[in-house]
Structure 1
Amino acid sequence: MPHFKNIAIIFSLTLLLLISTKTNSTPVKNEDPNNTLNHPVTINLLVKKKNNTSKRLILPIVQIGSKRFKLNTTFDTGSQGLVLNASRVLPAEMITQDGITMNGQSSITINGIRITDIQDSCAYGAIKEKKRRYFGQIAYATVTLGDESNNVTTREMPFLLVYKGIVIFTQQPAKVDPVNDGICGVLSSYVSNDDNATSRKQLKSPFDYVSYSGDLHAGIELDPINDYIYGNVKDGMYPVPMLKIGITDRMESGLHIYEQKRLKNGSYSSTATTDVQCNGLAIKTNVLFDTGTPGCTYLYNPAFTSVSDVQPGTEMQFNLKDFSYKYYVDARHKTVSGPGNRTILPLVFFNDHHYLLDYQNHLICFL
């Protein structure tokens, strides 16, 4: 028995050594006392592995306002804005099914967290029967993103504190996330020169509320998961230095660049127009690159009125300008097709692809 225990210890140490010695994301800390970044800073994401597959990317949060926390949020490239379970941030007695108790005031401050009486909601999910809606109130605070080993701190920023969630189809209660304390949406499609929000749609990526200087501007770069965790890795949660905060124009060199489309309301599209080849069919669709979807690819097909599985062995090819992504449907690349307004490429896409979001220039870049 001790012999097997020693083998397990050696395996774990070897894995941690592989993660810590990667050369393409050497952790760089921010030493500026005013929390302004003048060079890219690398922080850890937690990679949850199960059955030899990446199931979640998780962004830790260690402080909100003046209070220390140990929160885990789903790192989500498919949405924008920080959405947190209010019960993990505020005293339980403040939270009701109708909202956060304000005692008749328009705003109250607890531990440096300013909660307003502005209520709004947000929805998540591609499939009608599983779509959820969350009801919350806008709050403001500085937020420290990352773990204790390395992190960045925002200016005072708006976020949504959720007091109630439902599955829209059944009206049954729904958690903000099945296992995490919230969702960190890192898209930043809304355009604003200030840090105020009067509705959920005005929330930006938390990393858009970080201060940058010099040649550095707002944006993030995500390394491929398989650069760090690959092969037959046992189930577990692994800290990985795969997220860079702050980008330069030089970092986009050699990547496939897609300019986000400006919409009539002044914001920018979160999707990219793509041609998809599936079973001999050519489908033009808008694709969302989504780390927040851990399961299967969802292919929007205007000819479908209900959701159905794409048969195993089917070749799928996504063509976006000069970039092409191809796979064959199997247990790892499960694909369903159905009605909707966009196609979703899930977390498995990020196993082997670099991904960069340029908030300043409204670019989606990948390789």
Structure 2
Amino acid sequence: MKNKYAIAPQFFYLLFVILVASSCKKDSTASKPVSATPVTLGMYEAGSGSNKRVFIPITGIGTQSVTYYGIFDTGSSGMTIDATGILPASMITSSGIQVTGDSVVNGITVTSQQAVVSYGDKTSTTKEYGNLAYADVTIGDQNGNLTLKRVPIFLYYKIVDGSGTKLAAHSSDVFGVGPGISYANSAIASPLSYYSPGTNLTKGFKLATLNTSSFTSNGTFVAGLLSIGLTSADLSSNGFIMHPLTYSSTGGYSPNIPATITYNGTSTAAQVLFDTGTPSVTIIEDQKATSGVGSLPANSVVTVTTNKGFTYQYTTTTTSNLTAIQNPNNTADYRTIFSIDFFINNEILTDYAGHQIGLKNF
């Protein structure tokens, strides 16, 4: 009996041809990698005059939505944040974070590894006490955000300034994007260094010039300040002068760049740190300086020339480009540290993969 569902052989041949053609077309499309584009985020400029900061919104830690603002700091490596409001209050005591082994709380892996993070020099040192932890961290806010997966962070329970005064919770949360590793724990580095930006991009970030008029007491959101993921043009043809970094077994790749500093007719060799985390005064360390040199007067001209030919010159005023001269024998800190004022007229990029810093005059 004739099967009423029978299909002509010609149809099977046509179907076979269509399937083969579709398969070839699909494979051809899939083999072409899609180039990624950098993620661009805005940040907040706050303060004025001789005290300015740039803050990055932190809106997620582990499984929790939060609202904190970390100091965007090119001068340190690693994220430090107060445990208050992130861990249950019962875990935080005056003597430390109560944890047995490695514990997962609110999506955060809190380890029993304790450490102390210090900022400043021997004349005034702020210290944070806490534990190594791991968590997903979301940066940015409703204007645009990015989640960084399983970032090592320093979760502190206490912060004390140079005079021994305990500071308020979250008064000094830092988002350190320097190229090295934290002295507190070698597992901690810049949160941005753990982000894979995608095809044809290099791990790293680029910071646009800051806007003087955006520094306000309440903070002003400035779109597009931070670009995460570097293009080949950024690294070769966008005008940045690249500076290879030196590796140390203790701090990793150092952000300090060899340079010559000239001020008021005096010249000195220097290791220069360009630091968004220094809010007011540029510190020039000069071994020839006397203890009585102090702050440079207004209208002093300062020039920095790096070993790769990047040059920047500025003139001090009574409210901006404040500059002090110190002797490293007194401070125990040999670095010349340029403050946030530098970033109003210059751009910086950090290439984590190639271990180099790029500088560019605006």
User: Which TM-score band applies after superposition, normalised by the shorter structure?
Assistant: 0.7 to 0.9
1:262 aligns with 2:253: no
What is the rounded CA distance, in whole Å, between the counterparts of 1:206 and 1:82 in structure 2? 7
Give the AA of the match of 1:362.
H
Q: Secondary structure at the match of 1:333?
A: coil
Q: Secondary structure at the match of 1:144?
A: strand
Q: How far did 1:234 drift?
A: 6.0
Alignment of 1:149-298 (within 5 A): 149-168=143-162, 170-175=163-168, 178=171, 182-190=173-181, 199-226=184-211, 230=213, 235-241=217-223, 242-252=225-235, 253=237, 254-265=239-250, 267-298=252-283
Equivalent position to 2:296, from 298, 310, 313: 310
Q: Secondary structure at the match of 1:154?
A: strand
Give the AA of the match of 1:161.
L
The residue aligned with 2:340 is 347
Alignment of 1:313-332 (within 5 A): 313-320=299-306, 321-331=308-318, 332=320
Q: How far did 1:37 drift?
A: 9.4
Is the CA contact (8 Å cut-off) linking 2:210 and 2:345 kept in structure 1? yes
Q: Which runs of 5+ in 1 are unaligned?
A: 1-35, 191-196
Is the CA contact (8 Å cut-off) linking 1:86 and 1:163 kept in structure 2? yes
The number of residue pairs the alignment matches comes to 316
* TM-score (norm: length of structure 1): 0.80
Relative to structure 1, is the Cα distance of residues 366 and 198 closer, same or farther in structure 2, using a 3 angstrom cutoff?
closer
The residue aligned with 1:30 is none
The residue aligned with 2:77 is 80
Q: Which runs of 5+ in 2 are unaligned?
A: 1-33
Select between 298-307 and 75-84 the one with higher mean Cα deviation: 298-307
Q: Secondary structure at the match of 1:158?
A: strand
Is the CA contact (8 Å cut-off) linking 1:106 and 1:117 kept in structure 2? yes
What is the rounded CA distance, in whole Å, between the counterparts of 1:93 and 1:152 in structure 2? 30
Q: Secondary structure at the match of 2:343?
A: helix
1:64 aligns with 2:52: no
Equivalent position to 2:37, from 22, 36, 39: 39
Relative to structure 1, is the Cα distance of residues 173 and 348 closer, same or farther in structure 2, using a 3 angstrom cutoff?
same
Is the CA contact (8 Å cut-off) linking 2:35 and 2:200 kept in structure 1? no
1:123 aligns with 2:118: yes
What is the rounded CA distance, in whole Å, between the counterparts of 1:37 and 1:294 in structure 2? 37
What is the rounded CA distance, in whole Å, between the counterparts of 1:185 and 1:273 in structure 2? 21
Relative to structure 1, is the Cα distance of residues 157 and 365 closer, same or farther in structure 2, using a 3 angstrom cutoff?
same
The residue aligned with 1:336 is 324
CA RMSD of aligned residues (A): 2.4
Q: How far did 1:213 drift?
A: 2.1
Relative to structure 1, is the Cα distance of residues 282 and 234 closer, same or farther in structure 2, using a 3 angstrom cutoff?
closer
Select between 112-121 and 86-95 the one with higher mean Cα deviation: 86-95
Q: How far did 1:262 drift?
A: 2.3
What is the rounded CA distance, in whole Å, between the counterparts of 2:299 and 2:266 in structure 1? 15
What is the rounded CA distance, in whole Å, between the counterparts of 2:72 and 2:56 in structure 1? 5
| Larger Rg computed on CA atoms | 2
* TM-score (norm: length of structure 2): 0.81
Of all paired residues, the percent bearing the same amino acid is 30
